Amino acid sequence: MPLDVAVQMDHVSSITIKGDSTFALCLEAQRRGHRLFHYTPDRLSLRDGRATARAEVMELREEQGKHFTLGEQAKIDLAAMDVVLLRQDPPFDMAYITSTHILDRIHPKTLVVNDPTSVRNAPEKIFVTEFADLMPETLITKDPVEVAAFRAEFGEIVLKPLYGNGGAGVFHLTEGDRNLTSFLETFGILFREPFIVQRYLKDVRKGDKRIILVDGEVAGAINRVPAETDARSNMHVGGRAEATELTPREREICERIGPELRKRGLLFVGIDVIGDYMTEINVTSPTGIREVKRFGGADIAQLLWDKIEEKVEA
């Protein structure tokens, strides 16, 4: 059955299709005969309890720079859609949170992927703390005394913004690094929120594994190896993707978190694992599905749309 699918995303003109998961999801929806409506978060509105967006019908093709065609802009009632894909990139700020409140008005009658309430209540670097035994030692604070004590305990630490994304603002500080105070002063100016501090995991040099789960079940994984000159493994800052298999510990992690993801309506999730430890649970706009397929893994876009169609038809 063809579905009407609204996609709340960064403008389609801004994406690089080779590695973009939103593009892959939309391309698969189009292949199945679903009709796509494109809009950016700033065109989302709520009036008298009715959620609307000024959207365009979107058609896609595998040709960077000529990868989309948009129709005339028109107001759509999101409650009349079958599915809304919530896919804009963070930052996870008040604008992002407000959009989840608006989408709450239509879900679950219109299926929003991922569930907007759960997205709002599960920031990637905080949600993961519900599984403290699966993650490295972690401190969330803005108190420089606590951060200094944490480094004194563990020596090498990673300092990063609590609501950042894509590796931005992530710093590896060694035991003797004299920049800690300066970093904390800078973070205090840039961010009102607390920071996150974690014990540095030396296994990151072997890679930061992205594991993708669909409705709580493992769908695929890639390993992201940082460049020699960088502490971060994110691919857009120079990380290298490679094929990988899951270890018994990684399967244990997925089995532990899977039921909670299903309970929260988090259909499409990407977790980050370094060595034996999970560091983040990404629920806003997980990426990596094109890389998984490129390295011979599952077509996760197909798996996710199978699950979405099953839920819409139920």
Active-site residue (options: 87, 151, 232, 290): 232
Active-site residue (options: 120, 160, 209, 290): 160
Active-site residue (options: 282, 290, 291, 309): 282
Buried b (16+ CB within 10 A) or exposed e, 195-223: bbbbbbbeebeebbbbbbbbbbebbbbbb
Residue 77 annotated among the catalytic residues of the structure:
no
Residue 258: CA count within 13 A, CB half-sphere: 16
> With contact defined as beta carbons under 8 Å apart, do 72 and 56 qualify?
yes
Active-site residue (options: 272, 290, 291, 309): 272
Active-site residue (options: 210, 215, 223, 309): 210
Residue 232 annotated among the catalytic residues of the structure:
yes
Residue 264 annotated among the catalytic residues of the structure:
no
Active-site residue (options: 87, 120, 224, 290): 224
Long-range contacts of 60-66 (CB under 8 A, 24+ apart): 60/12, 60/23, 60/26, 60/27, 60/30, 60/36, 62/17, 62/27, 64/16, 64/17, 64/18
Residue 32 annotated among the catalytic residues of the structure:
no
Residue 280 annotated among the catalytic residues of the structure:
yes
Active-site residue (options: 82, 280, 291, 309): 280
CA distance 314 to 308: 10
Buried b (16+ CB within 10 A) or exposed e, 43-69: ebebeeeebbbebbbbebeeeeeebbe
> With contact defined as beta carbons under 8 Å apart, do 296 and 243 qualify?
yes
Active-site residue (options: 28, 115, 120, 125): 125
Residue 125 annotated among the catalytic residues of the structure:
yes
Annotated catalytic sites, by residue?
125, 160, 210, 224, 232, 272, 280, 282
